[in-house]
Homo-oligomer: A and B are copies of this chain.
Amino acid sequence: MPDEPLYDVINRRRDTRREFTGEPLDPDLLARILSAAHCAPSVGMSQPWDFVLVRSPETLAGFARHVETERDVFAASLSGERAKTFSRIKIEGIRESGLGIVVGYDPTRGGPDVLGRHAIADAGLYSVVCAIQNLWLAATAEGVGVGWVSFYREEFVRSLVGMPEHVRPVAWLCVGAVSALPEVPDLERFGWRHRSPLDTVVHEERYGVSGSAPTG
């Protein structure tokens, strides 16, 4: 088990699309990153996540085709420079990674009385995303790439992997061995967006008051 310091891992974590080698992952390594996900906080300890491990080339190819059509939908909404910039950006490594982890949210888990969910219905969904972030950091510590694909319709994914109606697909993660993790986010490298300074998102006491934000 690697011994990577947390802050280093947080800084090195990248959305990975281009760097997958297709080499299969060691089963123990995969079990460690899934265990890290399963250690996430969850509302009322409901542990409402599911992980479907997809390796079948047919299923990966079917999903990649679907994502390609959704890429076209988004591309058609852009014009001028934005369209040109987007055309250079690779948005997924579905086939190249060799493994898709479909993460689902099952709101019936831990029921009927989920402590902490009566007022915030989405709290269960939040738990699932905490698990995804744990998985992503664990993969990074292991030197494994993760790419979160969101160019899809939930209904398509649900049907592709046979999730029942009550389980909501939350993410398709391309997970696999990589030549290296990218150092700079692709979207920054290709000029789509840039990182904002921390003090633009920190407020003191009330929203919009940024006077004395920490600067350390």
Q: Is A3 an interface residue (CB 8 A)?
A: yes
Which residues of chain B are within 8 angstroms of A153 by Cβ–Cβ distance?
119
Contact B5 A216 (CB under 8 A): no
Residues 191-205 of chain A: 1 if any B CB is under 8 Å from the residue's CB, otherwise 0? 011111010011111
A133 lies within 8 A of chain B by Cβ:
yes
A89:B113 contact, CB within 8 angstroms: no
List the B side residues contacting A73 at CB < 8 Å.
118-119
Chain B residues in 8 Å Cβ range of A30: 214, 216
A153 nearest in chain B by CB position: B119
Q: Are the C-beta atoms of A52 and B161 separated by less than 8 Å?
A: no
The docked-state distance in angstroms from the alpha carbon of A38 to that of B198 is 7
Chain B residue with the shortest CB-CB distance to A170: B126
* Contacting pair B205 A50 (CB below 8 A): no
- Residue A62 interfacial (CB < 8 Å): no
Interface residues of A in 4-61 (CB under 8 A from B): 4-7, 9-11, 13, 15, 27-32, 34-36, 38-41, 43-47, 49-56, 59
Q: Can you offer 14 A-B residue contacts whose CB atoms are under 8 A?
A: A4-B5, A6-B9, A7-B141, A10-B39, A10-B137, A10-B138, A38-B201, A43-B150, A46-B193, A50-B207, A54-B205, A56-B205, A120-B150, A129-B133
Query: Which residues of A are at the interface with B, using a C-beta cutoff of 8 A?
Result: 1-7, 9-11, 13, 15, 27-32, 34-36, 38-41, 43-47, 49-56, 59, 70, 73-74, 77-78, 82, 86, 89, 91, 104, 110, 113, 115-120, 122-123, 125-126, 129-130, 132-134, 136-138, 141, 148, 150-154, 161-164, 167, 170-171, 185, 187-188, 192-196, 198, 201-208, 213-216
Known pairs A52-B203, A129-B129; list 4 more (Cβ under 8 Å): A5-B5, A40-B133, A70-B118, A119-B153
